[in-house]
């Protein structure tokens, strides 16, 4: 949840629902002020749409025409609440459009549809079109966490959605075009397993952060210059 890697321009996850939204707006504002030709892509779930910082961030991004792409992954249940029970307007792209920014829904179960929509939106933002919003309409097959009993949805519903598994559908499309063979799947699985093993090995070999670093950057480490003492004249 707190992964962060500035070298790859990944500015971290956030334990606060919707907490990444104002951070993304701040990054985009900094890029605009500094004249940097970059955009900020902010990913969040539909559960964050019910939070106040969502509306504040959307409003400021639109008002200041910031180079930020909002990417909402709508899986219908957030942590465990059906969308219709938390939102009066369940069309999230329509809600985003009310902030006067281009917004449209995307089939989140279609890999190529997601790629195409994201490319178009990112290109528009880079061209100075201001913030854009994409609602990826998708579904999660598993529980939100290991403590989630999934009492809020029917198991048959999950099985129906699994028929639209984006990975399986994409592989089938590649097979139809003669671009995918059985050995490709075996090779991919082996490569993925090796990447995971390498990452686990790297993490286990890591060292703990020194306790002295615990409170670093809670406050700015830059100190303003001391104020000069006023000159005092003789009597």
What's the CATH code of the domain at 129? 3.40.50.970
**Does residue 139 sit in the same domain as residue 193?**
no
Which residues make beta-bridge pairs with 12?
Answer: none
**Does residue 130 sit in the same domain as residue 87?**
yes
Mean pLDDT, the chain, rounded, equals 92
**Does residue 92 sit in the same domain as residue 38?**
yes
**Does residue 122 sit in the same domain as residue 175?**
no
Residue 92: exposure state from Cβ atoms within 10 A (0-12, 13-18, ≥19): buried
Q: Is residue 196 part of a domain?
A: yes
Which positions of the chain have pLDDT values less than 50? Answer: none
**Does residue 75 sit in the same domain as residue 143?**
yes
pLDDT for the residue numbered 230: 57
174 HSE (CA, 13 A, CB side): 15
pLDDT for the residue numbered 224: 67
Domain range spanning residue 66?
6-147
**Does residue 95 sit in the same domain as residue 69?**
yes
Q: Is residue 194 part of a domain?
A: yes
96 HSE (CA, 13 A, CB side): 25
Domains contained in the chain, number: 2
φ/ψ of 31, rounded to 5, equals: -60, -40
Q: Is residue 227 part of a domain?
A: no
**Does residue 104 sit in the same domain as residue 10?**
yes
Domain's final residue, options 102, 117, 147:
147
């Amino acid at each position: 949840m707190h992964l962060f890697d500035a070298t790859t321009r990944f500015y971290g996850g956030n334990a606060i629902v919707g907490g990444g939204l104002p951070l993304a707006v701040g990054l985009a504002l900094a890029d605009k002020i500094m004249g940097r030709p970059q955009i900020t892509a902010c990913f969040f779930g539909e559960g964050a749409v019910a939070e106040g910082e969502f509306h504040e961030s959307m409003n400021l991004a639109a008002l200041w025409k910031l180079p930020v792409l909002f990417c909402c992954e709508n899986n219908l249940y957030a942590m465990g609440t059906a969308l219709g029970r938390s939102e009066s307007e369940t069309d999230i792209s329509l809600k985003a459009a009310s902030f006067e920014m281009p917004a449209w829904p995307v089939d989140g179960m279609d890999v190529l549809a997601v790629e195409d929509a994201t490319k178009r939106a990112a290109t528009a933002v880079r061209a100075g079109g201001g913030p854009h919003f994409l609602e990826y309409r998708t579904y999660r097959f598993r529980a939100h966490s290991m403590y989630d009993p999934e009492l809020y949805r029917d198991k048959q519903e999950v099985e129906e959605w699994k028929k639209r598994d984006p990975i399986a559908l994409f592989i089938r499309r590649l097979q139809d075009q003669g671009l995918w063979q059985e050995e490709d799947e075996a090779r991919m699985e082996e490569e993925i397993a090796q990447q995971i093993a390498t990452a686990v090995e790297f993490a286990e070999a890591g060292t703990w952060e020194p306790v002295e670093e615990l409170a670093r950057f809670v406050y700015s480490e830059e100190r303003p210059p001391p104020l000069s003492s006023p000159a005092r004249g003789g009597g």
